């Protein structure tokens, strides 16, 4: 969006020039953080919690667009120092956008950053009515709607040319949602759209990323059908590892291979390590995987190395030592690198430079507390694929993790920022 005087406008909550150092009072919520009120649905409860928490924060808000309300914003948390990009289109859940990890995977269509922003905007005269009515911009846009189901939607702009409107009517239904049959072909359809005679059509980056994920998933499914058509009975499992792989372990490996991002929650002693290694070796064979980072408790690093070198034809490197030594180890051409959780904080830059294709989190329940430095560091890691191993119980095995990127504390939350929740 273009810039004007709004670019220089910022909003703070609370008085004083340094809100990060202001002594915080205990936050009193009208709803319980641990028990859902009977008169609220699960989604209403979680949205209410985010609203009550967000509106009292000391965030710094800056309008970086060209409209006083329906605009692009940049929000900074002065305590964490993190900055997020926001887009405001109205006050309905799912209409807006925030680049924070919670918004991406919570399926609520809101987050504390959006609730803070809306609370500040609603203080403007007439803003509440305007936000409820929604915004029809001069340009048209294709964006990702976040809710219980993520959907690609079309928002027509003013003076939309008839040929473009006809094109949009073919691709999108009456509610503006992209029809399923056009999802994988959307990039090509955008290239072939009618001339707009100067009318701007914006397609947000997260839309193309969302389509790309589905295209990759479809390609994985195709390869698995062609190469592993017999499923757990496929002959490839006979020589995949230097040990017998039980049928249920084969199913777990195939599930992880197909999902790309998953949580393996079998009970202790049932071989989650073997499943993860089998999936990694299948990925190497079919998806050209070259680098696997295993994050484990310190006490299990050499156990992982022993298992890898015993049951595969590969060597594994344990990342340890002083800073220079660890950087040197990451520079080696190793398929498996093993690091303990506590070192991730110090080696974030080295890990990013190495660029793992797959991240395996062993005993991932250790980072379910988001407030710890270790959890925050692990959630900054990025990789196309990822597996989380957690001890579970009956019915807990092979649960999928959220796509790209943390829904809530607990199972699957480890993928919040891993680009794998």
pLDDT in tens, 169-203: 999 999 999 999 999 999 999 999 998 888 999 99
Per-residue model confidence (pLDDT) at position 80: 86
- pLDDT, tens digit (0-9, with 9 covering 90-100), for 340-360: 999 999 999 999 999 999 999
Per-residue model confidence (pLDDT) at position 392: 66
CB atoms within 10 A of CB 27: 10
Report the DSSP pairing between strands 358-362 and 385-389: parallel
CA dihedral (384, 385, 388, 394) in degrees, to 10, reads 140
Give the distance, in angstroms, between the CA of residue 299 and the centroid of all CA atoms in the same chain.
29
Per-residue model confidence (pLDDT) at position 23: 53
Per-residue model confidence (pLDDT) at position 7: 43
Q: Which residues of the chain have pLDDT under 50?
A: 1-9, 11-17, 19-21, 393-421
Query: Which of 3.40.50.720, 3.40.50.10810, 3.40.640.10, 3.40.50.2020 would CATH assign to domain 241-415?
Result: 3.40.50.10810
- pLDDT, tens digit (0-9, with 9 covering 90-100), for 96-116: 999 998 888 788 999 999 999
Per-residue model confidence (pLDDT) at position 277: 96
Per-residue model confidence (pLDDT) at position 95: 87
pTM: 0.71
Per-residue model confidence (pLDDT) at position 356: 96
Is residue 115 helix, strand or coil?
helix
The answer to whether the CB of 402 falls within 8 A of the CB of 421 is: yes
Per-residue model confidence (pLDDT) at position 134: 84
Give kind and range of the element (H or E) at residue 203: strand 201-203
Per-residue model confidence (pLDDT) at position 358: 96
Per-residue model confidence (pLDDT) at position 369: 74
Per-residue model confidence (pLDDT) at position 5: 43
Residues of the chain within CATH 3.40.50.10810 domain(s) are 241-415
């Amino acid at each position: 969006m273009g810039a004007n005087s709004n670019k220089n406008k910022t909003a703070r909550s609370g008085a004083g020039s340094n809100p990060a150092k202001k002594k915080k009072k205990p936050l009193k919520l009208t709803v319980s953080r641990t028990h859902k009120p009977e008169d609220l649905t699960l989604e209403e409860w979680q949205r209410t919690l985010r609203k009550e928490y967000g509106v009292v924060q000391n965030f710094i808000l800056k309008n970086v667009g060209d409209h006083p309300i329906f605009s692009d914003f940049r929000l900074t948390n002065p305590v964490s120092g993190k900055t997020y990009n926001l887009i405001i289109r109205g006050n309905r859940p799912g209409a807006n956008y925030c680049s924070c990890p919670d918004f991406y995977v919570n399926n609520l269509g809101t987050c504390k950053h959006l609730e803070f922003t809306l609370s500040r905007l609603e203080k403007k005269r007439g803003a509440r009515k305007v936000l409820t009515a929604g915004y029809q911009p001069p340009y048209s846009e294709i964006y990702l709607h976040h809710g219980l189901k993520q959907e690609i939607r079309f928002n027509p702009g003013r003076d939309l040319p008839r040929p473009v409107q006809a094109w949009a009517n073919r691709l999108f239904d009456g509610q503006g949602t992209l029809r399923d049959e056009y999802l994988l072909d959307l990039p090509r359809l955008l290239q072939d759209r009618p001339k707009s005679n100067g009318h701007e059509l914006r397609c947000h980056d997260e839309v193309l990323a969302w389509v790309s994920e589905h295209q990759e998933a479809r390609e994985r499914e195709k390869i698995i059908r062609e190469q592993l058509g017999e499923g757990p009975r496929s002959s490839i499992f006979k020589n995949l590892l230097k040990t017998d792989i039980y049928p249920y372990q084969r199913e777990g490996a195939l599930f992880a291979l197909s999902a790309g991002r998953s949580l393996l929650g079998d009970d202790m002693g049932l071989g989650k390590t073997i499943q993860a290694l089998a999936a990694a070796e299948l990925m190497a064979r079919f998806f050209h995987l070259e680098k696997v980072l295993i994050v484990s408790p310190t006490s299990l690093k050499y156990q992982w190395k022993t298992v890898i070198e015993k049951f595969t034809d590969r060597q594994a490197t344990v990342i340890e030592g002083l800073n220079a030594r660890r950087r040197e180890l990451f520079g080696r051409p190793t398929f498996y690198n093993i690091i303990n959780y506590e070192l991730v904080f110090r080696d974030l830059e080295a890990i990013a430079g190495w660029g793992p294709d797959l991240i395996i989190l062993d005993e991932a329940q250790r980072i379910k507390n988001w407030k710890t430095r270790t959890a925050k560091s692990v959630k900054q890691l990025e990789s196309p694929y990822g597996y989380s191993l957690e001890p579970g119980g009956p019915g807990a095995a092979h649960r999928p993790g959220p796509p790209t990127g943390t829904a809530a504390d607990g199972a699957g939350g480890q993928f919040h920022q891993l680009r794998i929740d």
